[in-house]
Chain A
Amino acid sequence: MGQTLAEKILQKHTDQEITEAGQIVQCRVSMVLANDVTAPLAIKSFKAMGAKKVFDQNKIALVCDHFTPNKDIDSAEQVKGVREFAEEMGVTHYYECGDVGVEHALLPEKGIVGPGDVVIGADSHTCTYGGLGAFATGMGSTDIGAAMALGETWFKVPSTIKVNITGTPKEHVSAKDFVLNQIGQLGVSGALYKALEYSGEVVDNMSIEGRMTIANMAIEAGGKVGLFSVDQKTLDYAATAGFSGGEAMTPDADAVYERVLNIDVTDMEPQIACPHLPDNVKPVDETAGVRIHQAVIGSCTNGRIEDLRVAAAILKGRKVDPKVRCIILPATPAIWKACMREGLMEIFMDAGCIVGPPTCGPCLGGHMGILAGGEVSIATTNRNFRGRMGSLKSEVYLSNPAVAAASAIAGEIINPAKL
């Protein structure tokens, strides 16, 4: 019987024969990740397990990105603990200072994760690496502590929903819109415990960055992973990043899927996830006119150079509404530098944006853009749960970077085509 992408990747990392979805398998892991919020608990568990050393100091990544640059004394103490652990264990992939970026933008860019890998991270958006053809999923800190010690973890082999994306997208409609539309159709628990696997001409023609945007939001439909085939584009991206290994991979023609969802994007308008769940999705025109106080352009979903180029193209020669904070957070130092080199920084500053350091910051209501009661933000981030970005009385609308930039200029949610 044919295998899905999820089954194929897991099979390479286990000695057990994978025969069906639902099976429990013990898998070797290629990379184990934690951040400044989750590593402290993982380290606590690691020590409670009696572990004395990590299974492989080159296969642990500790990225302090959520509250960094440290927002207060408590977060500084947490980072200090993570740093001391990294030093004690000789962890090579430790990031905190001028080299730190948002973890799920940073690790692919540095070639630390790549096609065919099994990656687990104490962060729910670890699924981002599915864009590179890696079986990557989020777990809690204790599972991560265990994997740091053992170099393996257990998985239930997921059943798979195939998402086939076809058609020709309109201007200002991109990867974020496809995935929001899909979450709207499936619901926030529609892919619970399952893998999502993407195919179709739109996906074939899409950049690796776009694929990572889609894979990133697999969890917002409850999914375990969001997987893309490995093609020449993936291999080129991985090679440029310095990743060693990786080979082309497609699902078998006779692989078994639980369901196939077809999405034709030809007539799709930019999509908005309205408060307070990512599946409350509407075409932008239905939300047009909602006043905003803040626009956040960044995060592991849409903080890569491609996203910032889109935002800059809209902002160029225009001014952000004086009552709107337009916060731009390039996701890694390399992306920051590319923004400078390509002249995007000048555009952002001339437009009246606030450009910050790479950080998760406002996405999770951490710092650098917290909302007061009654305030509304449009954001290129991934979650709009009640209170996610600040007050329980604030609201977050999720969009693509073009809509966020256009709305910052208009002071209200607007279709960029109508700016």
Chain B
Amino acid sequence: MKVTGTAHKVGDHIDTDAIIPARFLVTTDSKILGDNCMAGLEADWVKRVKKNDVLVGGENFGCGSSREHAPISILGAGIPVVLAKNFARIFYRNGFNMGLVLLELGDDIDKIKDTDQIEVDTATGEVKNITTGTTIKAAAVPPFMQKILDVGGLVEYVREKLA
């Protein structure tokens, strides 16, 4: 899958309370969660996002609580890919389970600026910065997690196991 969109940069240590504050945890509806994506960072942050835009975090993106509402909210906002220097552990697993593409770029994350046009090839992990003309290769997805992705996510993986 190729995703082309505008980069929306956020800082280091973006926690899950910033992604979706606790007052929205009374629902599992992806539309409501998506409409309030990043409400804990800035009111109406989500209004800048168009479908297929790319979220660009820094270090330890998604730290804090285990709430799966966080990746659901990002997907609900129309964002299919998050790029970051690295990800917090629980968020990383959750993202994969929900079908949100997460790519670790290490220090190369600094080569992307807010509002740059980005093209991401989710199959190869290649990230093209159309604005600057540079290409970055993301760290490979761990093989075991790739296996889960290949069958269509954890829900499908378990469904096959139970069948």
Contacts and interface: CB of A to CB of B under 8 A. Distances in A.
Q: Do A and B come from one complex?
A: yes
Contact of B66 (A40, A123, A154, A224): A123
A51 interface: yes
Interface residues of B, number: 42
A156 B63 CA distance: 18
Given A37-B67, A386-B40, A49 B18 contact: no
Interface in B38-67: 40, 43, 59-60, 63-67
Contact of A385 (B64, B67, B69, B93): B64
A37 B25 contact: yes
Contact of B65 (A78, A124, A156, A387): A124
Chain A interface bracket (under 10, 10 to 19, 20 to 34, 35 or more) = 35 or more
A138 interface: yes
Contacts of B27: 74
B27 to A, nearest CB: 6
A21 interface: no
Contacts of A192: 60, 86, 88-89
B54 to A, nearest CB: 22
B103 to A, nearest CB: 17
B162 interface: yes
A228 interface: no
Interface string B24-38: 011110000000000
B36 to A, nearest CB: 12
A169 B71 CA distance: 42
Given A192-B60, A222-B60, A277-B13, A142 B162 contact: no
A402 B159 CA distance: 50
B3 interface: no
Nearest to A146: B158
Name the residue in B13, B25, B159 with the highest tally of chain A Cβ atoms < 10 Å from its Cβ. B25
Contacts of B159: 48-50
B90 interface: yes
Interface in A219-245: 222, 224
Interface string A346-383: 00000000000000000011100000000000000001
Contacts of A40: 28
Contacts of B98: 140, 142
A44 interface: yes
Given A143-B154, A222-B60, A72 B26 contact: yes
Contacts of B144: 24, 154
Contacts of B89: 192-193, 222, 224
A4 to B, nearest CB: 17
A142 B40 contact: no
Name the residue in B13, B23, B86 with the highest tally of chain A Cβ atoms < 10 Å from its Cβ. B23
B162 A149 contact: yes
Interface in B84-104: 86, 88-90, 93-94, 97-98
B123 interface: no
Interface in A25-44: 37-38, 40-41, 44
Interface in A93-132: 121-124, 126
Contact of A124 (B40, B66, B69, B162): B66
A33 B3 CA distance: 36
A189 B17 contact: no
B145 to A, nearest CB: 9
Contacts of B119: none
Contacts of A383: 15, 17, 64
B17 A365 contact: yes
Given A365-B21, A386-B40, A189 B68 contact: no
B163 interface: yes
A260 interface: no
Contact of B26 (A67, A154, A224): A67
Contacts of B142: 24, 156
A387 B39 CA distance: 10
B28 A41 contact: yes
Given A142-B97, A146-B158, A383-B64, 11 more contacts: A24-B142, A48-B155, A50-B163, A123-B66, A141-B66, A143-B154, A189-B86, A277-B13, A364-B65, A365-B17, A365-B21
19 contacts: A41-B72, A45-B97, A45-B154, A66-B25, A124-B64, A140-B68, A140-B90, A142-B68, A143-B93, A189-B59, A189-B63, A193-B89, A222-B60, A277-B13, A364-B17, A364-B65, A365-B22, A365-B23, A392-B43
Interface of B: 13, 15, 17-18, 21-23, 25-28, 40, 43, 59-60, 63-69, 71-72, 86, 88-90, 93-94, 97-98, 142, 144, 154-155, 157-159, 161-163
User: Which 10 A-B residue pairs are closest in the complex by CB-CB distance?
Assistant: A74-B26, A140-B94, A189-B60, A142-B97, A140-B68, A49-B158, A138-B66, A141-B68, A364-B22, A124-B66
